[in-house]
């Protein structure tokens, strides 16, 4: 979404963002994909809960104006402990964590683990492990993972599928 600097997002800001930015983006995607209905899943943050019924009503009413190419928005409840759908949680933090743990084991196994050492390892991972190819892979992985989450009805009881993304990226010339 869009960050609000110098404050927090309340229900009114969230509602305005959904109505002015998210719904039009969903309309555009639905038009390109020839969809009449789009499922919208959000978490249970307080600002979302405050305006959810209003947004659900507005989303459902949009089906009556399909002639104008506005998709009906159906809300799907996100279950507790549902995975976040962002590239950081899906892939980036795993890449960084794996690199830090590997470096701690190989280079600093017998040293006392200090805050300074951890920061040094995190910085090294950020500079050397998080390549443009890894970030690209993270974004390509989002669609298959969203399908898994949908099949799990919003839950997190699934295994990230083997999709052949890395093989495809190598064929495209990515160094991954």
Report the DSSP beta bridge partners of residue 73: 38
pTM, full prediction = 0.52
Q: What is the pLDDT of residue 101?
A: 93
Which residues, including other chains, have CB under 8 Å from residue 164's CB and lie 6 or more apart?
none
Q: What is the pLDDT of residue 2?
A: 44
Q: What is the pLDDT of residue 168?
A: 94
Contact in structure between 72 and 38 (CB atoms under 8 Å): yes
Per-residue pLDDT of the chain (176 residues; tens, 9 = 90+): 444 445 677 888 888 888 888 888 888 888 888 888 888 877 777 888 888 888 888 777 765 454 456 777 887 766 666 666 666 777 888 889 999 999 998 988 888 888 899 999 999 999 999 899 998 998 898 888 888 888 887 777 888 888 999 999 999 999 98
Contact in structure between 38 and 73 (CB atoms under 8 Å): yes
- Write phi, then psi, for 107 (nearest 5 degrees): -100, -25
Q: Identify the CA nearest to 54 among candidates 1, 8, 12, 3.
A: 12
Q: What is the pLDDT of residue 64?
A: 47
Q: Where are the beta strands (DSSP E) in 61-124?
A: 72-77
């Amino acid at each position: 979404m869009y960050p609000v600097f110098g404050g927090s997002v309340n229900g009114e800001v969230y509602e305005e963002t959904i109505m002015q930015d998210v719904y039009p983006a969903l309309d555009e995607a639905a038009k390109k994909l020839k969809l009449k209905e789009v499922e919208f899943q959000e978490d249970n943050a307080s600002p979302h809960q405050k305006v959810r019924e209003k947004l659900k009503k507005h989303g459902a009413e949009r089906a009556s104006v399909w002639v104008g190419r506005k998709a009906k928005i159906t809300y799907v409840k996100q279950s507790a402990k549902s995975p976040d759908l962002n590239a950081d949680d899906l892939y980036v933090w795993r890449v960084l964590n794996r690199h830090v743990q590997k470096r701690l084991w190989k280079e600093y196994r017998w040293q006392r683990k200090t805050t300074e050492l951890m920061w040094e390892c995190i910085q090294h991972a950020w500079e050397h492990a998080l390549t443009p190819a890894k970030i690209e892979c993270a974004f390509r992985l989002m669609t298959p993972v969203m399908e898994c989450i949908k099949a799990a009805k919003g839950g997190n009881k699934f295994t990230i599928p083997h999709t052949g993304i890395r093989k495809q990226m190598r064929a495209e010339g990515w160094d991954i």
